Amino acid sequence: MLLQQLINGLSIGMIYALIALGYTMVYGILKIVNFAHGDIYMMGSFFGLFFMKELHMPLYLAFIFSAVSAAILGMIIERTAYRPLRKADRIVPLISALGVSTFLISLAQLLWGTEMHPFPTAFGSKTYAVGSVTFSEIQILIFILSFVLMFGLHLFVTRTKVGTALRATSMNLTNAALMGINTNRMISLTFGLGSALAAVAGILVGIYYNAVYPNMGYMAGINAFTAAVLGGIGSIPGAMLGGVLLGLVETLAGAYISTQYKGVISFSILIIVLLIRPSGILGKKDINKV
């Protein structure tokens, strides 16, 4: 029973980690929280629904086209809702993010209605037993795809020239610009990458629960933000660790306490982390030189 719950928790945790990466990368560069990110995840799931149901694409193509569409959406949001407010007080981009979130929910309701939509794929229905533990196809896909994407992102950020430019931009925006780095392009790339990962997570959740709906981004966004804070917002490894830990805690609490308290547990963890260690498990405290 415990081992099965650990497997289930890892599945959910990997999803949280994929979404949390978008929060942590944007915060690492701009020091703002993109509260519209959960709704980009929601739009990504609907993109997948559209490509598979209306255009009859196979699953792997739906992943690719949805990720690209969400990346473009994320970059458009950065260009229109955040870039003009970059020099404003920090509260202003947060208000803008809430406006973008409301707009995306309303747009999804206008295009697809307010009801739940089943995901048009038979993938994920098969199960495999290893001793007393059961794996579903979708869980195996979540493990493999999430690991590949997160490891690929880590290699991209640490081993490529563009990744070096991203890290330089996150360290100091002004100094990076003085060194000849196109910081606007790096910021747009960050929004695009985070949105693409969120779209993949949206499709995986759509298959896992066989349902997508316009308000699905709210709680997922809160949980992913909690995961980013838990691991250390601004830290890519921290977002991965935080997502996995939160998924495990939520699943174990739901199995051994009550599923009604899963949301309470997420908020409780967020409050405790902010009180005890605001920088998170792998986060570093900001040092301001005067």
Return d(Cα 221, Cα 194) in angstroms, integer.
13
pLDDT per residue as tens digits for the range 60-92: 999 999 999 999 999 999 999 999 998 888 889
Taking CA atoms, 90 is separated from 96, 191, 275, 289, in Å, by 10, 18, 21, 20
- Per-residue pLDDT, 289: 43
- Per-residue pLDDT, 123: 73
pLDDT per residue as tens digits for the range 20-41: 999 999 998 888 889 999 999 9
In the chain, % of residues over pLDDT 90:
63
- Per-residue pLDDT, 130: 82
pLDDT band at 288 (very low <50, low <70, confident <90, very high): very low
Backbone angles phi, psi at 234, to 5 degrees: 100, -10
pLDDT band at 290 (very low <50, low <70, confident <90, very high): very low
Return d(Cα 104, Cα 284) in angstroms, integer.
33
pLDDT exceeds cutoff 60 at 286: no
Taking CA atoms, 251 is separated from 4, 12, 25, 162, 267, in Å, by 10, 8, 26, 37, 15
Backbone angles phi, psi at 145, to 5 degrees: -65, -40
pLDDT per residue as tens digits for the range 157-209: 999 999 999 999 998 888 999 999 999 999 999 999 999 999 999 999 999 99
In the chain, % of residues over pLDDT 70:
97
Mean pLDDT of 137-147: 93
- How far does Cα 87 stand from its chain's mean position? 26
Q: Residues 113-131, buried b or exposed e (16+ Cβ, 10 A)?
A: eeeebebbbeebeeeeeee
H or E, element range at 31: none
Regarding predicted confidence, which is higher, 217 or 284?
217
Could you tell me the fold of the domain covering 2-276? ABC transporter involved in vitamin B12 uptake, BtuC (1.10.3470)
- Per-residue pLDDT, 122: 67
Return d(Cα 214, Cα 249) in angstroms, integer.
26
- The two structure tokens encoding residue 72: 């473009």
Return d(Cα 192, Cα 162) in angstroms, integer.
14
Where do the domains of the chain lie? 2-276
H or E, element range at 287: none
Regarding predicted confidence, which is higher, 134 or 74?
74
pTM: 0.92
